[in-house]
């Protein structure tokens, strides 16, 4: 073989081959050697020391462990871990042979085998954790640098091999914040020999460590254990400050919604009296001047209520609590009633009002009646407000239709003052009002269009405005309405029918506010109901002992005994035989569902006028508890959700839900046991485990309740917790029973 051939063989060898001088400097190497360490050209390494391809501490180890052997025997082979050009570990087999001139021949290849001691040591050194492995006799088998540094051990890791672990621990004890506790948990964990991950340990200097313990069991025999410590001080500090910030934000959000719901209660309660008394006054014989005064009181009170409602709506939107309900509506009837409400205003201004609803629009559609009404009153109300002469037209047309939906265009056109080009883009901004004319400005809050737009967005629709200054404005709302597929009918009735059903009913009115009691009593007496009164929950219980009632109307916030506590006692004594309707100044829908969850048959929100109270009572006496409707709604949501998952097979979906709920109720039996024992931690763990299932079934209404239970920033009493948990279990049981049919 010529020397050229020899050289070519070395150049093309699969293994890395290199020649080093007596100082460990690369003199020559083949391509495979350079490539093993990620270098394209041998020139990048030739001339460098071998230490160039090792981490400094690893190079120290080679000098310390390998070179003495090499000098003694003339060769060494084994596994090493180098570092590639892009800083990745290179696991390799290396064979080193000493040359007579003091130089070295190095032959190496990649080590593709599974973990070896060398790799383990490398891993331990680079894991970023402090690790110690001891054998079954508490002798240290492996320990890394970080461990020595963390516990201020003045020795090198390799010098600790074989040392007694317990002795080392005793030496390190003063470093811990609570040495006795450390000793106790150390023994307890080691005695139990169960893996423990993430146990928090505190050092005296404030460092927070997370300790993992892993027993090493081979062939059912205990062979030692691994202790690993991670410094999580920074993480914890960050977590704590994030949690603090979150708690502060939650607390301020809570304070805000608490303030709003209190304010709403404080304002709505006297408003109930003002609106109620003005209404009662209008029923009496009045001379024209008195009638004028009463009309003005009613108008002003209505306006004030409108502003309060707008502000509450805005805060609902901000709190993400604005929900769109789904019920069967008749759009034609809603438009007629909106027209009737606004008629006095159009007549007063001498404006013409026409409304046309296209014939092909279905009589029954799914929508949120209250919100559709609110949108129409807002838009048509604006048209009237900003128009002095001419006409207002409201048109509803069908623009598109499929098997599930009708897409409607609701267009309101006026011949009023119009909106300038500059302002048109801003009319949906909160508090924006273009008009400087005090007559128009004083009549609103500038929130109407902002709220209307959000409501239409939530319904999946769009609103646009076209306007020309001095000529008029056209508002177009395109909203999808779901079709009603079952044969639920809107029962038409007249006010006499309502009165006939309510007359003669024995009603117990429980309300602490004297004025409100008076207004409600007058309204109910006008409906010819038989009214008895109580000032608080306790008095109500006395009354219930003495007489029988068809219905209890119960205020919630009352001194001596509040409405909720009274309801619980009524339920205990009389079961479901006495229906109780809550009278609240509730600002949020969630509060209304909360009342229904608590067991109230319905929830009537104050302020309420006689006409609406009459309709609500009629609905109650005719159709029974609103709870039924409430459960139907939850059922519908769940069915729609699972139906989608089941690919549209309704029977399958219903079966699936029954099965899931059964599972859920079954595992919740465990929950009830923990509640009996007041073991809140266990109850919470179960809730945490089951919430995914609850959500996957689609019981979305409980998100708020679950996060309230899980929210540690607000302390809760035992009875509050029991109430929250039992609301959930009760609902799940009811749903299970309903879906099993
Ligand atoms: P508000 O009516 O309470 O002032 P809105 O949010 O409903 O608040 O309306 C915001 C502003 O948009 C009004 O103040 C008015 O300047 C303008 N605007 C709304 N509708 C009309 C309309 N039909 N004609 C003229 N201007 C209108």
Residue nearest to atom 7 of ligand 1 (CA): 448
Q: Where does a domain end: 483, 498, 514?
A: 483
CATH number at residue 731: 1.20.120
Ligand 1 atom showing the smallest separation from residue 450 Cα:
6
Ligand 1 atom showing the smallest separation from residue 310 Cα:
3
| Within a domain: 351 | yes
Q: Where does a domain end: 431, 463, 483?
A: 483
Distance between CA atoms of residues 198 and 676, nearest Å = 30
Residue 607 preceded by cis peptide, ω within 30: yes
CATH number at residue 395: 3.30.565.10
Three-state DSSP state, 414: strand
Ligand 1 atom showing the smallest separation from residue 433 Cα:
14
CA 472 / ligand 1 centre spacing (Å): 12
Ligand 1 atom showing the smallest separation from residue 428 Cα:
6
CB 329, CB 291: distance < 8 Å: no
User: Which residue has tokens 């304010």?
Assistant: 263
What is the helix (H) or strand (E) element at residue 236, kind and residue range? helix 233-282
Residue nearest to atom 14 of ligand 1 (CA): 433
Which of 391, 433, 443, 477 best tests ligand 1's pocket when mutated (most atoms within 8 Å of CB)?
433
Q: Where does a domain end: 111, 145, 172?
A: 111
| Within a domain: 418 | yes
**Same domain flag for 379 and 405:** yes
Q: What's the pLDDT at 715?
A: 66
**Same domain flag for 337 and 435:** yes
**Same domain flag for 183 and 214:** yes
Q: What's the pLDDT at 28?
A: 93
| Within a domain: 708 | yes
| Within a domain: 476 | yes
Number of domains making up the chain: 4
Which of 377, 382, 419 best tests ligand 1's pocket when mutated (most atoms within 8 Å of CB)?
382
Burial class (CB in 10 A: 0-12, 13-18, 19+), 53: buried
Q: What's the pLDDT at 626?
A: 66
CA angle 462, 640, 694 (to 5 degrees): 110
**Same domain flag for 90 and 126:** no
User: Which mean pLDDT values do the consecutive 10-residue runs of the chain (741 residues) have?
Assistant: 75 91 94 93 94 86 85 86 83 89 91 61 76 85 88 84 82 88 84 84 91 85 87 85 78 70 72 87 91 85 79 74 78 88 88 94 88 92 93 95 92 94 89 66 74 92 94 96 67 70 92 88 91 94 91 91 90 86 74 78 84 86 72 75 71 75 74 78 78 70 68 68 71 73 60
Residue nearest to atom 13 of ligand 1 (CA): 433
CB 716, CB 683: distance < 8 Å: no
Ligand 1 binding pocket (C-beta < 6 A) is 378, 382-383, 386, 414, 416-419, 427, 432-435, 444-450, 473
**Same domain flag for 339 and 479:** yes
CA 444 / ligand 1 centre spacing (Å): 8
| Within a domain: 16 | yes
* Token code pair at residue 483: 């079709």
**Same domain flag for 93 and 129:** no
Q: What's the pLDDT at 26?
A: 95
CB 9, CB 31: distance < 8 Å: no
HSE-up (13 A, CA, CB side) for residue 534: 29
Strand partners, 475: 412, 465
CA 395 / ligand 1 centre spacing (Å): 20
| Within a domain: 430 | yes
**Same domain flag for 344 and 210:** no
Ligand 1 atom showing the smallest separation from residue 447 Cα:
6
**Same domain flag for 46 and 100:** yes
Which of 353, 417, 446 best tests ligand 1's pocket when mutated (most atoms within 8 Å of CB)?
446
| DSSP string of 265-323, one letter each residue | HHHHHHHHHHHHHHHHHHTS---HHHHHHHHHHHHHHHHHHHHHHHHHHHHHHHTT---
**Same domain flag for 105 and 128:** no
HSE-up (13 A, CA, CB side) for residue 512: 13
CA 471 / ligand 1 centre spacing (Å): 15
Q: What's the pLDDT at 114?
A: 44
| Within a domain: 79 | yes
CATH number at residue 193: 3.30.450.20
Ligand 1 atom showing the smallest separation from residue 444 Cα:
3
Give the contacts of 559 (CB within 8 A, at least 6 positions apart): 512, 536
CB 656, CB 696: distance < 8 Å: no
Ligand 1 atom showing the smallest separation from residue 449 Cα:
6
| Within a domain: 159 | yes
Long-range contact list for 88-92, CB < 8 A, 24+ apart?
88/38, 89/122, 89/126, 90/36, 90/37, 90/38, 90/53, 91/118, 91/119, 91/122, 92/16, 92/36
Q: What's the pLDDT at 98?
A: 92
Residue nearest to atom 20 of ligand 1 (CA): 382
Q: What's the pLDDT at 349?
A: 92
The model's pTM is 0.48
Residue nearest to atom 16 of ligand 1 (CA): 434
CA 323 / ligand 1 centre spacing (Å): 24
Q: What's the pLDDT at 741?
A: 60
3-state helix, strand, coil in the chain (%, to 5): 50, 20, 25
**Same domain flag for 105 and 127:** no
Range of the domain at 402: 331-483
In terms of phi and psi (left: phi > 0; alpha: psi -120 to 50; beta: otherwise), the region of 350 is left
Ligand 1 atom showing the smallest separation from residue 414 Cα:
23
**Same domain flag for 129 and 90:** no
CA 382 / ligand 1 centre spacing (Å): 6
**Same domain flag for 423 and 472:** yes
């Amino acid at each position: 073989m010529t020397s050229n051939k020899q050289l070519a063989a070395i150049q093309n060898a699969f293994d890395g081959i290199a020649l080093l001088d007596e100082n460990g400097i690369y003199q020559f190497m083949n391509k495979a050697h350079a490539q093993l360490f990620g270098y394209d050209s041998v020139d990048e390494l030739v001339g460098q020391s071998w230490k160039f391809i090792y981490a400094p501490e690893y190079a120290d180890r080679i000098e310390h462990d390998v070179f003495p052997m090499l000098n003694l025997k003339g060769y060494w082979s084994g596994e090493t871990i180098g570092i590639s050009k892009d800083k990745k570990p290179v696991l390799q087999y290396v064979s080193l042979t000493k040359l007579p001139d003091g130089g070295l021949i190095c032959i190496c290849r990649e080590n593709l085998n599974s973990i070896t001691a060398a790799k383990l040591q490398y891993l331990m050194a680079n894991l970023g954790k402090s690790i110690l492995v001891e054998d079954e006799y508490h002798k240290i088998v492996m320990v890394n640098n970080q461990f020595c540094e963390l516990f201020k051990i003045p020795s090198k890791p390799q010098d600790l091999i074989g040392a007694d672990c317990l002795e080392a621990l005793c030496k390190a004890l003063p470093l811990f914040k609570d040495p006795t506790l450390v000793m106790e948990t150390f023994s307890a964990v080691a005695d139990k020999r169960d893996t423990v991950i993430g146990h928090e340990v505190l050092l005296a200097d404030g460092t927070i460590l997370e300790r993992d313990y892993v027993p090493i069991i081979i062939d059912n025999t205990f062979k030692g254990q691994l202790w690993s410590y991670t410094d999580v001080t920074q993480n914890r500090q960050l977590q704590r400050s994030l949690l603090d910030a979150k708690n502060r934000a939650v607390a301020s959000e809570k304070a805000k919604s608490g303030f709003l719901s209190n304010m709403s209660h404080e304002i709505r309660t006297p408003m109930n009296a003002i609106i109620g008394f003005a209404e009662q006054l209008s029923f009496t014989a009045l001379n024209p001047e008195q009638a004028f005064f009463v009309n003005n009181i009613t108008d002003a009170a209505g306006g004030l209520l409108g502003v309060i409602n707008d502000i509450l709506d805005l805060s609902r939107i901000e709190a993400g609590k604005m929900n769109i309900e789904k019920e069967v509506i008749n759009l034609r009837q809603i438009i007629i009633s909106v027209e009737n409400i606004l008629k006095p205003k159009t007549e007063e201004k001498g404006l013409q009002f026409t409304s046309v609803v296209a014939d092909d629009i279905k009589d029954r559609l799914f929508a949120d009646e209250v919100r559709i009404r609110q949108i129409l009153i807002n838009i048509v109300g604006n048209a009237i407000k900003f128009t002095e002469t001419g006409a207002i037209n409201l048109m509803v047309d069908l623009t598109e239709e499929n098997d599930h939906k009708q897409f409607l265009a609701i267009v309101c056109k006026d011949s009023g003052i119009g909106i300038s080009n500059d302002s048109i883009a801003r009319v949906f901004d909160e508090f924006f009002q273009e008009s400087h004319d005090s007559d128009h400005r004083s009549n609103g809050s500038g929130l109407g269009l902002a709220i209307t737009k959000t409501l239409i967005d939530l319904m999946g629709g769009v609103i646009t405005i076209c306007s020309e200054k001095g000529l008029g404005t056209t508002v177009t709302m395109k909203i999808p309405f779901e079709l009603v597929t079952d044969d639920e009918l809107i029962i038409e009735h007249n006010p006499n029918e309502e009165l006939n059903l309510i007359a003669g009913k024995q009603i117990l009115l429980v309300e602490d506010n004297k004025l409100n009691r008076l207004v409600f009593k007058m309204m109910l007496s006008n409906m010819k109901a038989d009214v008895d009164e109580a000032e608080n929950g306790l008095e109500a219980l006395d009354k219930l002992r003495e007489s029988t009632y068809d219905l209890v109307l119960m205020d919630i916030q009352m001194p001596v005994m509040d409405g909720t506590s009274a309801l619980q006692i009524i339920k205990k004594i009389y079961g479901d035989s006495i229906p109780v309707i809550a009278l609240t100044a509730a600002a949020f829908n969630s509060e209304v569902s909360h009342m229904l969850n608590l067991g109230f048959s319905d929830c009537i929100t104050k302020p309420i006028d006689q006409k609406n109270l009459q309709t609500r009572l009629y609905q109650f006496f005719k159709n029974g508890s609103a709870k039924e409707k409430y459960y139907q709604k939850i059922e519908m949501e769940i069915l729609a959700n699972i139906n989608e998952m089941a690919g549209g097979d309704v029977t399958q979906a219903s079966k699936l839900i029954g099965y899931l709920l059964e599972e859920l109720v079954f595992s919740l039996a465990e929950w009830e046991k923990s509640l009996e024992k007041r073991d809140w931690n266990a109850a919470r763990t179960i809730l945490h485990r089951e919430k995914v299932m609850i959500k996957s079934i689609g019981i979305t209404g409980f998100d708020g309740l679950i996060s309230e239970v899980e929210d540690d920033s607000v302390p809760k009493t035992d009875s509050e917790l029991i109430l929250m948990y039992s609301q959930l279990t009760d609902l799940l049981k009811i749903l299970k029973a309903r879906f099993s049919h």
